[in-house]
Structure 1
Amino acid sequence: MKTLTLHDLNKADSLRFTFDGTFDARNGLASSVVPFLDALEQNADGWMPTIVKTSRSRKYSQEAVRRALEERREEYGTVIGLVRPENPAVSLVLTLGPEQERSLWSTSLTVQPLSFFSEIETCRSFVRVARSWAAQYPANYAAAHSAADMQFAKFPTFGRDNTAWKRDGFDKVYELFWLNIFGPKLVELVGRERMLSTPAHLVEELPNGSILLVLWPTAAEFASEEARVAQARAHVHLRPDLDFDTVLRTLRERSAALVPVEPRFHPDVAPFLSRLPDEFAISERQRKIAELNAFRPPVPEEWLPVAHPSDVANPERVLESYGDLSEGLVAALHTKVPSIMDETAESLTDLDFYFWQENFPERYTRELIDSHTAPALGAYLGDMMVRRLGGTWVLRQKVEESQVRVGKRVWLPFLRARRYMQSRQSLLDYSLTQFFHEVERYRP
């Protein structure tokens, strides 16, 4: 049974629900969690978690949850996960504080993709879950919304430093999201009558004094013009000190930044660049795709029209040393980049991505890179040109001058590898993927 990773949940926009409440744990965790699970089972239509995850995985049931709580019970709290690996993917992390009269109840729920919540009835079911949790586990503030848009809003700090965030918490209405739950303290701060008169799709007072506010019928349409206008109107209603036009302009800018950008990467580096967008926060992804669309790597200059003649006395020994370098690279990276053993164009793309993801040139020492990594890459790249493109080595005593003849040009793989390993940006400017495709054009 697959466990979802943060990377899995970053591939598309999601509905994110954060809920930090309290509960009376004196009756035990098992009893306290029943209303929470009942609300899920009755209303999580199509997105119900199927796995209970701790140090081991179990098929979901309330009994499996109780066992997991017992397994993870510690003096300072208990953490378990509820997961759904199928579409829509679900990750729910439940954190319970030490067992006392008022204990922390923290829920972080992610459902991907956000588009699952395009139907009104699906969203109504989600609201029923939120309403039930808010009634059972009182919270000062909770919200459900697009994960990408929450990133733009800098939730939960809203741009404050950690000291101010920890000191003040949700001391005013910094933002409004698709679904909001305001605890009694925040309600009284704003004014109960003002909050109940908020122009929104749903405004409901809960028995414990909290107020549930839903801005728009469906979560997936949060970025539409109509939903943004509703969001701005509700926000300035609760915060009369804010200017409607300014709030709406900011929301429109956020919507524009989320409009999908079609990837149009340079063909020589497209196999590499196509992997990069998923490495950025969802809120940044479309801007990054646009930047990568505009990126044009320099035309490779690591070649000569005429070969420098070989000046080595023992070619076999030199080739053996290059083989040792190449094998050392394979041995070091074969678990992290399994395709390195195949010596194909895809192997080079996998290496490009690995080094970029690791920020290898700036994370590791220059001595290691210059004396080991770059020479090993040069030997590996040159060996690939010989094996895959019909090249022949022209060896030189100075390693960076060693060449591989392919067609009517001779190429300098060691020089390319050194330039490649200068910085994270150089991994793009001098990618192995691009170099191989350029050489490929000249093979006989």
Structure 2
Amino acid sequence: MNGAEKRGPDTDDRLRLSLEATFDQALDLNQALEPFFRALESHAGTWMPEVVEGKRQYTYSRDSVLKALDEKRGKKSMSVGLSRATWPVLDMSLRLSLPPSAPRLYVWISVQPLSLFRETAPCSEFVGMVRAWASHYPVAGATANSLAEDQLAEGSSPDSAVDPSEETGDDRIQEVSWLNVFGPKLVERLGRERMLSTPAHLVEELPNGSVLLVLRPTAADFASDEARVAQARAHVHLRPDLDFDTVLRTLRERSAALAPVEPRFHPDLAPLLSRLSGEYAISERQQKIAELNVFQPPEPEEWLPVALPSDVASPAQVHSGYGDLTEGLMAALHTKVPSILDATPESLTDLDFYFWRENFPERYKRELIDTHTAPALGAYLGGILVKRLGGTWIPRQNPEESQVRVGKRVWLPFLRARRYMASRQSLLTHSLTQFFREAERHRS
């Protein structure tokens, strides 16, 4: 189990680094990667890798990384994954191209949460690590930024289709990240003097002609207005064709989209909606919370004030059939929704979340849903009303008329299940969780 699994839902922003460089393929691999290891081990600190992913997992060491690279050697490249078993969460990979391909070294790092980088010390260490790599390995380019910021930038950049690189010769810089390394060819095309005079926290010329640019002392405050002004100034300096006010307005709009929204979900659905919001991209999450805050599901209508009399010849046989349906549902879903075996209100919320996440009503054949899934859910839902609220089944020949008496009302779980499975949206408007909570309020 890694750090992310121990901490629960993946809800925090993170700092991501992407670096592309060249390396000397003539060297022994251990020699070629010695500067990489040295910088990582000297600067990573709290997010230092603990686990190496090869054909199996190893404890981090230089030897285990080399072993895993060899295990995952392909025809064109070799790669290795690095992670942590404890908090903070790390997702890191190293890939090396193999001859006759160009000698490329790719590094990707994701450290979660981004709040680790709200102080200057860890940010300085991170910059020191990238500086060491970029000074030794000729860099084509590197950026480090908030994941949420990168997601928003994809749709709001003035040149969303432009990706400056040394290979294409395009000198338009689409974005200025918190940390940037511009390769020597791009620096020359843009103008070394202009690059080195960029208004930023740190602008440093590296020995190989690359330029390291860091916008601010810390990475985590990227959405503050002070940081946005600094980002806009740097971007417009490097892109004189851009308008400062337009760039700054776009950046402020991104910050507004990321401003925290306090969840105020419908009380019956709060456990479900809080999980749903975590399924969206970090850049969209606050907007989704705001949308879910105003979501008001209709009150359940699947109930009667007076029971329809049972019209079945053998209630015991019908009850047994309900049990078979329930057991079939449990057998089908117990690995994906383990709590289904507990038959609790929380199990219903877990089912609501599972079916929504899978978009079950729209991904699976309607015949399967109508003839198997919905009836099984109706039996399961009714069984929970019986087990948890002291209800009593009143079976009918038409299953959608079958009722469970709870207090002064009788409830129609099979009808609810059919409506629930009509669409993805109906999983929320007709949730199993809300149906149970409404019955619970009327049991006395």
TM-score in terms of structure 1 length: 0.95
- Deviations along 1:112-144, whole A, 9 cap, x unmatched? 111111111211111111111112222322100
SS of 2:144's partner is strand
SS of 1:26's partner is coil
Distance 1:312 1:434, change over 3 A: same
Residue 236 of structure 2 corresponds to 236
For residues 155 and 301 of structure 1, the distance between their equivalents in structure 2, rounded to whole angstroms, comes to 42
Residue 434 of structure 1 corresponds to 434
For residues 323 and 94 of structure 1, the distance between their equivalents in structure 2, rounded to whole angstroms, comes to 52
- Deviations along 1:254-312, whole A, 9 cap, x unmatched? 11111111111111111111111221111011111111111111110011111111111
| Residue 365 (structure 2) pairs with residue 365 (structure 1) | yes
Residue 85 of structure 2 corresponds to 85
Give the AA of the match of 2:76: Y
| Residue 136 (structure 2) pairs with residue 136 (structure 1) | yes
Residue 261 of structure 1 corresponds to 261
For residues 255 and 312 of structure 1, the distance between their equivalents in structure 2, rounded to whole angstroms, comes to 62
Residue 308 of structure 1 corresponds to 308
SS of 2:425's partner is helix
Q: Are the equivalent residues in 1 in contact too, given 2:78–2:97 (CA < 8 A)?
A: yes
- Deviations along 1:181-223, whole A, 9 cap, x unmatched? 1111211221111111101111111111111100111111111
Q: Are the equivalent residues in 2 in contact too, given 1:25–1:102 (CA < 8 A)?
A: no
Cα deviation for residue 26 of structure 1 reads: 2.2
Give the AA of the match of 1:159: S
For residues 107 and 383 of structure 1, the distance between their equivalents in structure 2, rounded to whole angstroms, comes to 53
Residue 317 of structure 2 corresponds to 317
Q: Which residues in structure 2 correspond to 1:26-425 (within 5 Å)?
A: 26-100=26-100, 102-154=102-154, 159-160=160-161, 168=168, 171-425=171-425
SS of 1:153's partner is helix
For residues 181 and 435 of structure 1, the distance between their equivalents in structure 2, rounded to whole angstroms, comes to 55
For residues 98 and 223 of structure 2, the distance between their equivalents in structure 1, rounded to whole angstroms, comes to 40
Cα deviation for residue 316 of structure 1 reads: 1.7
Cα deviation for residue 29 of structure 1 reads: 2.6
Q: Are the equivalent residues in 1 in contact too, given 2:160–2:174 (CA < 8 A)?
A: no
Q: Are the equivalent residues in 2 in contact too, given 1:177–1:215 (CA < 8 A)?
A: yes
Distance 1:378 1:9, change over 3 A: closer
* Length, aligned pairs only: 442
Bigger drift between 21-30 and 410-419 goes to 21-30
Q: Are the equivalent residues in 2 in contact too, given 1:140–1:170 (CA < 8 A)?
A: no
For residues 210 and 161 of structure 1, the distance between their equivalents in structure 2, rounded to whole angstroms, comes to 21
For residues 165 and 183 of structure 1, the distance between their equivalents in structure 2, rounded to whole angstroms, comes to 9
Cα deviation for residue 56 of structure 1 reads: 1.3
Query: Structure 1: where are the runs of 5+ without partners?
Result: none
Q: Are the equivalent residues in 1 in contact too, given 2:162–2:174 (CA < 8 A)?
A: no
Give the AA of the match of 2:437: H
For residues 159 and 397 of structure 1, the distance between their equivalents in structure 2, rounded to whole angstroms, comes to 60
- Deviations along 1:370-412, whole A, 9 cap, x unmatched? 1100000001001111111111111111111111111111111
SS of 1:212's partner is strand
Distance 1:182 1:161, change over 3 A: closer
| Residue 13 (structure 2) pairs with residue 13 (structure 1) | yes
Q: Are the equivalent residues in 2 in contact too, given 1:23–1:102 (CA < 8 A)?
A: no
For residues 279 and 318 of structure 2, the distance between their equivalents in structure 1, rounded to whole angstroms, comes to 40
- Deviations along 1:60-80, whole A, 9 cap, x unmatched? 111111211222222221110
Distance 1:165 1:376, change over 3 A: farther
Give the AA of the match of 1:87: W
For residues 61 and 105 of structure 1, the distance between their equivalents in structure 2, rounded to whole angstroms, comes to 19
Q: Are the equivalent residues in 2 in contact too, given 1:9–1:112 (CA < 8 A)?
A: no
Distance 1:167 1:99, change over 3 A: closer
For residues 380 and 52 of structure 1, the distance between their equivalents in structure 2, rounded to whole angstroms, comes to 43
Give the AA of the match of 1:384: I
For residues 173 and 10 of structure 1, the distance between their equivalents in structure 2, rounded to whole angstroms, comes to 31
SS of 1:107's partner is strand
Distance 1:161 1:101, change over 3 A: closer
Distance 1:167 1:137, change over 3 A: closer
Q: Are the equivalent residues in 2 in contact too, given 1:23–1:101 (CA < 8 A)?
A: no
- Deviations along 1:31-76, whole A, 9 cap, x unmatched? 2211111001111222211121222111111111121122222222
Q: Are the equivalent residues in 2 in contact too, given 1:377–1:417 (CA < 8 A)?
A: yes
Cα deviation for residue 103 of structure 1 reads: 1.5
For residues 162 and 325 of structure 2, the distance between their equivalents in structure 1, rounded to whole angstroms, comes to 48
Cα deviation for residue 25 of structure 1 reads: 1.6
Distance 1:368 1:223, change over 3 A: same
Bigger drift between 139-148 and 231-240 goes to 139-148
Distance 1:168 1:281, change over 3 A: farther
Query: Structure 2: where are the runs of 5+ without partners?
Result: none
SS of 1:109's partner is strand
Bigger drift between 290-299 and 90-99 goes to 90-99
Identity in percent: 62
For residues 196 and 256 of structure 2, the distance between their equivalents in structure 1, rounded to whole angstroms, comes to 31
TM-score in terms of structure 2 length: 0.95
Give the AA of the match of 1:209: G
Cα deviation for residue 30 of structure 1 reads: 2.5
